[in-house]
Amino acid sequence: MGNSYERRSYVGMAIDPIHVGTGGAGFGSVDNTIVRDPVTRVPKIPGSSLAGVYRTYAAMAQQAQNRSQAQNPGQKNFFPDCAGLGQPRPDGSGGHCGQKDCPICTVFGFARGNAGGFAGLAAFSDAHVLLFPVATREGPVWITSPMAICQLDEKLHNEVPNLEGDVVYRSERGCKSEQAHEGEQRRKCLNLGWLLLEVKTCDRIERLKNTLKNTLEKYSICNCVLDNLGIVSDKLFPHVVNSNLEVRTSVAINPETGAAEEGALFSYEALPRATVLVWDVTCKNPGYFKIGNSDIEAVRDIQNIFQNVIEPAHPYFEYLGVGGMGTRGMGRLRVFSPKNQQQQSTAQTAEGGQ
């Protein structure tokens, strides 16, 4: 029957600033804060948000596929019925169909039906910041930390050296070109926003950076990012991220007068454009599950789920985005699937499979 589950990592780059709000205030002087990891304080996109967006876009992709095929009258409405939260309309129509032949309800789960609901074959991790762009006097540098790197690949954990607190580690190459242009005094410092840090290199960092580069090249992330990496300690990383978020100020408009509302100035924060995020999608083998007493018919195997349900949603992230403030030009996320994913994930499950 094959592996019982399989996990794939996806990497995405913010094309716009991304605001996934907490729905409340509370961080410094910003009115509309974004969701943060409770332990590290680094902003993230919660897996639950990601799952909801995936569900909607996967349903849209299925619907588009339906429309492009020959119209036959008995075809299912994936969107909006199976896409949303599942509540039927007041007249009883709509809502999750909960059928064994529905790729959306079987993969993302449903809350109703004769069988009493189903948790879904796919599970989504939080999307974590992997590389965070910071303006420096040398142009943008993408900052990461050992903890952030391990979210991409746990195996990198063994390669992480001990890092000093107030230092940014950069590659040899970057430092040498700097040496040629600048005086001895300034050579060893770099500003990350308003933070001025000493620049260092070391062999182990260099090796880690190369491993990271090799891993990310599979995702077709552009070289201007990979050639401008900086690594800081896990302790410093949240400070660098939180002090370089995009903060915008806006004012509410009174719909009656069309003018600015008195006292309605508000600010909101977002992950800046060009932030690189990483998340996992884990799919369970449909052969191991039943809906009611019937086998699942919508998806045959794990490959099928990734290829026909999960990955067709990715183009929609780039156009319709994630999170709030979409009307203010926020949220678009370009998703990169790794090249030769097949090989990689097979290897992964061969190692961890049962």
For position 97 contacting Zn ion by CB under 5 A, the verdict is yes
**Residues 34, 82, 197, 216: which binds Zn ion (CB under 5 A)?**
82
DSSP states of 126-167: PEEEEEEEEEETTEEEEEE-HHHHHHH-GGGGGGPPP--TTE
Q: What is the distance between the alpha carbons of residues 33 and 269, in angstroms, rounded to a whole number?
A: 6
For position 229 contacting Zn ion by CB under 5 A, the verdict is no
For position 298 contacting Zn ion by CB under 5 A, the verdict is no
Q: Which is nearer to Zn ion, 104 or 148 (CB)?
A: 104
Q: What is the distance between the alpha carbons of residues 316 and 332, in angstroms, rounded to a whole number?
A: 9
For position 121 contacting Zn ion by CB under 5 A, the verdict is no
Q: What is the distance between the alpha carbons of residues 214 and 219, in angstroms, rounded to a whole number?
A: 9
Asked if 325 contacts 34 with a C-beta cutoff of 8 angstroms, the reply is no
For position 302 contacting Zn ion by CB under 5 A, the verdict is no
- Could you tell me the smallest distance in angstroms from the CB atom of residue 99 to Zn ion? 6
- Could you tell me the smallest distance in angstroms from the CB atom of residue 49 to Zn ion? 21
- Could you tell me the smallest distance in angstroms from the CB atom of residue 296 to Zn ion? 12
Binding segment for Zn ion (CB under 5 A), chosen from 74-82, 120-128, 134-142, 285-293, is 74-82
Binding segment for Zn ion (CB under 5 A), chosen from 90-98, 182-190, 235-243, 345-353, is 90-98
Binding segment for Zn ion (CB under 5 A), chosen from 50-58, 103-111, 197-205, 252-260, is 103-111
- Could you tell me the smallest distance in angstroms from the CB atom of residue 81 to Zn ion? 7
- Could you tell me the smallest distance in angstroms from the CB atom of residue 60 to Zn ion? 13
Tell which residue, 57, 38, 12, has the closest CA to residue 336. Answer: 12
Q: How many residues bind Zn ion (CB under 5 A)?
A: 5
Q: Is 241 exposed, middle or buried (0-12, 13-18, 19+ CB in 10 A)?
A: buried
In three-state secondary structure terms, 8 is: strand
For position 105 contacting Zn ion by CB under 5 A, the verdict is yes
Residues binding Zn ion (CB under 5 A): 82, 97, 102, 104-105
